Each structure stands twice: as structure tokens, then as C-alpha cells.
Amino acid sequence: MNATSSTPPTVREEFASRARRDEAAEFVASFRTLYPFEPNFLDVGDEQFMHYVDEGSPTAAPVLCLHGNPTWSFYFRGLISGLSTHYRVVAPDHMGCGISDKPQDYNYTLEQHSLNIERLVLELDLKNITLVLHDWGGAIGMGFARRHPERIARIVVMNTAAFCSTSIPLRISVCRWPIVGPLAVRGFGAFSLAALSMATERPENITDEVRRGYLAPYGDWHNRVATMAFVRDIPLAPSHPSFDELAATDGALREFKDTPMCIIWGDRDWCFTPEFREEWERRFEGARVHTVPDAGHWILEDEGPKVLRWISRFLQDTPESGE
């Protein structure tokens, strides 16, 4: 389903979008059975295009799925297929990720990613949104939410954070080191390759087709630009350029204390450990909580059908305002 805009596209925009759709169809050919969705593209400025999936009825309640690093909308493929029969599911690829453009001199910061989501939501005029947030999607999505709280109806968080922390695993910290980090992350693709085993507790679920889907967007130095940028953009101290953005989002979380929330967590996650889940629970005492003791960071790969059932039930039990 293609997004509709309040203003008709120019000839250049329509040509570029059509060309990008053709490229996207060719790109996903080797894993199309897992990812059969129509590509859509939004011009985010300077003739740069952000890819997004938009499935389901355009009049249905929107579910906005935001991924992290080093995944892309492919991570949400099961939710997209399962929820789009009753909801409008929108899942963008952040700039530099998935099928989106990967400019080398782009401002890959937390604030910019949130502003891109704002641009997409306003372009599609999404209201009464259910946010589904994973990994970096938490900080990005809640950064958008604090700018437009009136558009948020429900929130689902999965192994993510949107608050300040000084905790960073050594294996990620190493990727931030000069020379070593770029060589490993951009040169050898170590971040994406390692995630295929380190982010899941069910390696048997990572079939060859799934593996192709995750690695396809990040095949060389050029295409791993955002993977490296995300690692560098983790704000651990006030001196970091993205710290103020995250701190503002952290402070705004209290505004959503009465918003229905569902917390779904793989407790074997070595990055977003159970301590992060407990922080969400502390701040949102009324949240519905589901934990999987033997699931990892990629909980949708470890327990996808179970997570789909939990989210479906949450959506049914907490109707959006106006329903």
C-alpha cells in the first residue's frame, strides 16, 4: 500500500520513487517469501529517500514499528503479516538501514532519526498510534512521541530503552574504539554478523533465508555507515552530542504514565538486560508485562508467534481513544 500525501508528488519524486520500488523488489528477491511487502519511499530532504512498509487498511488503527541496530523492518516481518489483517502496520527503515538510502555524510544522530519519524507520521497523518519499539527504536520512538504526545494511543516496548544510562557492554564498547571499531564494524561487518548468534537464543530459527534478510542491506563498507554511526551515537555522558536529546526524552516519559503500555522482554539479553525492563516497570507501574526467561535480544526471532499473540491481545484489550 502506498502512502498518500496531501500534495501531489512532483515528476522527479514520482520517478525516483518508482525507480526505488523497482530496486527494492530486486533487492528482496532472495528472501521474498519472508518479506513480501510493497516498498514505499519518503523523501526526507536533499533527495534522500527513507523506505517504509505500509500494510493493511489505510483507515485502520496504525501500528508503528521502529527497529534498532543492526536490523531493519525485516525484523518485524512476522508482526507486519500478523497484525495487518486488522491494523495498519507502518515499519520504516531508519536512514542508512535496510532499503533506505545510505548517504555517507548524513547526520546519523538520535535527534535526526526521531525527526525522520516525525516527518513520516505527519506525511501519512497517522493518529492514535500504537508504538512498537525495539532496541534503538525505543529512544527514537519516544523522542518522536514527546514531540507529538497527542498522536500516541499505546506503547509496546521490547528489549529497549528511552532513558539515560551509563551501562554499555564491553563487546559494544570495543566497537567504539578508534581504528578497531571501524575496521570491525564497517570493514568486516562484525556487528551484523555477531548479532546473528549473539542476539538470539534460538540459532535454529536463523535459517539461510533469514540470514540473507538480515545481512543483505549491510554488505560492504559503504552500506554499513549507519551501523557504525549508531554505535558511536550511544550517549553515555552529558558531553555526548546526543545526550541532551535522550535526556529530554527521559524527562518526558512521565507524560505517558497513563498511556497503555505492554512490556515484552527476552531476559537472556546481554545488552538490554532485565535491569532495563525493571526500569520500565518502575516508571510504568500499570504496564502489562511479559517475560521470556530463555529468549534473547531478538525476541521476535526467538518467540515470534508468542509475541504476536501478546501484542494482539494487548491491542484488543486497550482500544484506542475514539474506538
Model confidence at 223: pLDDT above 80: yes
In the chain, the percentage of residues whose pLDDT exceeds 70 is: 93
Looking at residue 21, its pLDDT comes to 83
pLDDT tens-digit readout, 111-125: 999 999 999 999 999
* Alpha-carbon gap, residue 143 to 103, rounded angstroms: 23
Residue 244 vs residues 109, 127, 141, 180, 240: alpha-carbon distances, Å: 12, 27, 16, 28, 8
Looking at residue 259, its pLDDT comes to 97
DSSP 166-206: ----HHHHGGGSTTHHHIIIIIS-HHHHHHHHHT-S-GGG-
Contacts of 125 (CB under 8 A, 6+ apart): 6
Looking at residue 17, its pLDDT comes to 67
Question: Please, which pLDDT band fits residue 213 given cuts at 50, 70 and 90?
Answer: very high
Looking at residue 19, its pLDDT comes to 78
Looking at residue 322, its pLDDT comes to 39
For 197, the grid coordinates are 548468534
pLDDT tens-digit readout, 142-196: 999 999 999 999 999 999 999 999 888 888 989 888 998 899 999 999 999 999 9
Q: What is the pTM assigned to this prediction?
A: 0.93
Q: Where are the domains of the chain?
A: 11-317
**Higher per-residue pLDDT: 278 or 180:** 278
Residue 286 vs residues 76, 131, 263, 289: alpha-carbon distances, Å: 26, 17, 10, 9
Looking at residue 118, its pLDDT comes to 98
Q: What fold does the segment set 11-317 form as a domain?
A: Rossmann fold (3.40.50)
Looking at residue 22, its pLDDT comes to 85
pLDDT tens-digit readout, 53-111: 999 999 999 999 999 999 999 999 999 999 999 999 999 999 999 999 999 999 999 99
In the chain, the percentage of residues whose pLDDT exceeds 90 is: 85
Question: Please, which pLDDT band fits residue 135 given cuts at 50, 70 and 90?
Answer: very high
Contacts of 171 (CB under 8 A, 6+ apart): 194, 198, 270
* Alpha-carbon gap, residue 164 to 238, rounded angstroms: 10
Model confidence at 40: pLDDT above 50: yes
Model confidence at 18: pLDDT above 90: no
Looking at residue 15, its pLDDT comes to 57
* Alpha-carbon gap, residue 203 to 2, rounded angstroms: 35
Q: What mean pLDDT is reported for the chain?
A: 93
Length of the chain: 323
